[in-house]
Structure 1
Amino acid sequence: MIKSIEGVRGLAALLVALYHLKIGSEYFSLIRNGYLFVDLFFVLSGFVICAAYGDAMRSGADLRQFIWRRIGRLFPLLVFSTVVFVLGSNAIVLAKKLAVSAGHAGLLNNPGALEYLVPTAGEILATLTFTHSLGLFDELILNTPSWSISVEFYTYLLFALVCLLLTGAGRIVLLAVLSLAGLIISAWASVNIHDCIAAKGCLSLTYDFGLARSIHSFCLGALAFYSSRILKMNIPAIQITVMFALFLLLTLVDYVSIAAFAFPVAFAALVLSLSKDSGPLADALKPGLFQVLGQRSYSIYLMHMPLLLIFENLTKRVSGLVSSITVLVAYVLVLYVISGWTYRFVEAPMRDWFNRLVVRKPAVAGGAGS
């Protein structure tokens, strides 16, 4: 495990969680444009998955093992967090109904929002098959951040097929072509479908063209891995340059929306600069807190929206710097605790169970490790 990459994964998850909380977004571009750090997740996945499986994907048995391991990694927490989100949403509606019936409607921010969230059969099936963000719906559904889990799963499958079909330079060329195709589709959809130049939010593609966005960034991450094998780098200089470039991009993107398209490339350069796990930035990301955040990053990512069911009500009520900071700190601390629970009792044991199940299957016993 590359500790600095684990640390940056944890930071990315936290920034996405803060983006949805929205406190401080009027002051800090890092929070205001936090949606772009989903692309850092895709880049990191491309790098890590390529490192773990790129040389080990040789047969159909390897492919089956890979798929089962990815399902074991993603599926249990996806289902758990979605169920928690639905139950939490309906618990809040029930509490509102009780408050209204008791004559306390004036205490509610939105007393008219009294409809229960009842997932349709299509939404349930799509979530269970990771297809809920492949253009089947005209909006985000249920635990909305899980859109990226949907598209990432099918990006995994595409990568596995590439590995089975090609090796060496041919694989690298195809990954580059796929990344470029993903960028072209993402740019076209952002500008022509979502009118991002006028409306802002370029590259904020989710339920409709999120797969193209995922393929673009994931393949950049895989290319960063292959580059790390051959490039001799001045690590400190590259890390400082990349951090300066990200600072400029975060400043620029508020005024020039198309600057968002440069972030995946900058993230790939960032991951490449951390690939040797050395340098000033790498050292800053190695302390224990960042490692814990990295370990819990998937839980942080999927559990922050259920938690926001409670905290979004608080954010509408607070005013002033001290109150806002208090709510923000409480949100981060509660999310830290909850993500620890879900990692310990849901994510890790279910992942390990799936891994043991795969190892017990004779047909895939010789495949790659997780």
Structure 2
Amino acid sequence: MTPVSTPADLRALTSLRFLAAAWVVMFTFWPDLKVGFVPVAVTRGYLGVETFFVLSGFILSHVYLQAAGEKRFRYGDFLWARIARVYPLHLATLAGIMALGLGAVAAGLTIDANVLGWASLPAQLTMTHAWGLAPAAAFNHPSWSISAEWFAYLAFPAFAFVAWRLRARPWLAVTGAALFLIGLYLAFEAAAGFSLTEATFAWGALRIVPCFALGCALYLVYRRAPLKRGGLWAAAGATGMAVSASLGAWDGFTVLSAGALILGLASMTNAEAGWLASKPAVYLGEISYSIYMVCVPWQILAVNVAARLTGAEDKQLSLAVWLVVVALLPVVAALSYHVVERPARTALRGMAERRRARQADTADRVNSPERVLQPSETIV
């Protein structure tokens, strides 16, 4: 069956990235709020990362699967594009945490010993710190997921190989991916004593695998034909996520519900997506990576400053102050997006384009029938 022509921009999925990041932000910042309760859904905020992972498999398949299946996929160009996407901001936030840590030490303040875990720096610089290669959970903690993403990028040809061969049976692929996810979650928890969805530095590279595979499989359904009732699927997925997270149900239910939400949103037209396809929502989605990566550096800086200015004990902020701190995070993220993330990505991709242009120009000159041999050249 020939795939149906589908929109290329998938605006609602871009906006969903912001909602996933916001869930992680609530999980991260809630302990700084002076209240006597924690909503169960907030305690499950780490599952926002799983949503990112499923989205990653879906979007990368959307962009690259056809080329991979038709042998037009250029692995080196793909990896360079992914480095351009994630590495500059990773380095910037890594340097930021170092500066904050060293500044705190110079000021005589007490910091967590693992914040400046220099033994973990080589793994951080190579984005392998979620592969069990970092001795401690050091520096910018959320960056473990970027290391996990890097693992999935390196392994993308393997995911694409399987997905391409199942493209004619997309629901079989989804069923297999779902069963794989369930089986791996159950087996890991039985062996390790904790959920794979809570793994970071030690098992983060494994944590992304079932989610990324699910995203690849869901894309096959979308590729064959977007769902006719995408809105109902999206509503069902969102409801499943909300209910399972609020009740503290098994994390696997929440992740599978996230998959239904993603497939449903992808199947909706931009008109049907409403505010999720609006420019403000899409912009927030575009800066969601910055929101995620500057979350902890901003928390360290802003919470400490706010606590000193307001005299808050044990760094527990009042609701009004806490809301200001959290509301300023997207502003800081927008700054990092426009100053670091976007310019660096553009520059690195420009380097690759210029290199390809030079190679093409060289090939054209070498293969030109009108080319004149230079005196130093020899015909063999």
Band the TM-score falls in, shorter-chain normalisation:
0.7 to 0.9
Q: Deviations over 1:285-304 (max 9, x none)?
A: 23333222101011111111
**Structure 1 residues 116 and 129, CA, compared in 2 at 3 Å: closer, same or farther?**
closer
Q: What are the within-5 Å matches in structure 2 for residues 301-312 of structure 1?
A: 301-312=292-303
Instruction: Pick closer, same or farther for the CA change 1:117–1:155 going to 2, 3 Å.
Output: closer
Per the alignment, residue 25 of structure 2 pairs with 17
Q: How far did 1:191 drift? A: 4.0
The range that moved more, 283-292 or 8-17, is 283-292
Find out whether 1:292 has 2:283 as its counterpart.
yes
- In structure 2, the gaps of 5 or more residues are 1-8, 361-380
Query: In 2, distance between residues paired with 1:9 and 1:25?
Result: 30
Q: What is the number of equivalent residue pairs in this alignment?
A: 340
Larger Rg: 2
* TM-superposed deviation, 1:183: 4.7
More deviation, 333-342/155-164: 155-164
Report the Cα offset of residue 118 of structure 1.
Answer: 4.2
Q: Does 1:91 align with 2:91?
A: no
* Inter-CA distance 351–175: structure 2 relative to 1 (3 Å threshold): farther
Partner Cα separation in structure 2 for residue 83 and residue 37 of structure 1: 25
Question: What is the 5 A alignment of 1:202-221?
Answer: 203-221=197-215
CA deviations on 1:262-321 (whole Å, 9 max, x unpaired) are 2221111000000133489832323333222101011111111111112444579658xx
The structural deviation recorded for 1:246 is: 1.7
1:251 corresponds, among 246, 260, 264, to 246
**Match status 1:260 vs 2:259:** no
Quote how far apart the aligned CAs of 1:17 are: 1.6
**Is structure 2 residue 85 aligned with structure 1 residue 77?**
no
Distance 1:228 1:34 in 2: 27
The alignment status of 1:33 with 2:32, answered yes or no, reads no
Inter-partner Cα distance in structure 2 for 1:249 and 1:222: 23
| 1:181, distance to aligned residue in structure 2 (A) | 4.5
- CA distance, structure 2, for counterparts of residue 360 and residue 273 of structure 1: 39
Number of the residue aligned with 1:66: 78
Q: Report matched runs for 1:320-359 at 5 Å.
A: 324-359=318-353
Aligned to 2:11: 3
Q: Match for residue 133 of structure 1?
A: 130
Question: Following the alignment from structure 1 to structure 2, what is the Cα–Cα distance between the partners of residues 175 and 235?
Answer: 16
CA RMSD of the aligned region, Å?
A: 3.2
The structure-2 alpha-carbon separation of the partners of 1:261 and 1:339, relative to structure 1 and needing over 3 Å to count, comes to same
2:364 corresponds to: none
SS in structure 2 of the partner of residue 26 of structure 1: coil
Q: Is the 8 A contact 1:18 1:34 kept in 2?
A: yes
C-alpha distance after superposition, 1:188-220 (max 9, x if no partner): 333432445xxxxx6211112222220111111
Is structure 2 residue 233 aligned with structure 1 residue 274? no
Give the 3 Å change call, closer, same or farther, for CA 179–353 of structure 1 in structure 2.
Answer: farther
Letter in 2 for 1:341: L
The residue that corresponds to 1:151 in the other structure is: 148
- Could you report, residue by residue, the CA deviation over 1:16-72 in whole angstroms, capped at 9, with x for unpaired residues? 122111237934333221101100000111111110111122558611100110011
Instruction: Tell me the residue number matched to 1:184.
Output: 183
Work out the percentage of aligned pairs sharing the same amino acid. Answer: 24
Which whole-Å CA distance do the structure 1 matches of 2:162 and 2:191 have between them? Answer: 34
- Secondary structure at the residue paired with 1:131? coil
The whole-number CA distance in structure 1 between the counterparts of 2:157 and 2:105 is 43
Select the structure with the greater relative contact order (CA < 8 A; seq sep ≥ 6). Answer: 1
Q: Distance in 2 between matches of 1:190 and 1:116?
A: 26
Distance in 2, Cα, partners of 1:269 & 1:299: 26
CA contact (8 A) 1:33 1:250 kept: yes
Alpha-carbon displacement from aligned partner over 1:66-118 (angstroms, at most 9, x marks no partner): 011001111111011011011112212333x2xxxxxxxxxxxxx65486954
Kindly indicate whether the alpha-carbon contact (under 8 Å) linking 1:59 and 1:164 is maintained by their aligned counterparts in 2.
Answer: no
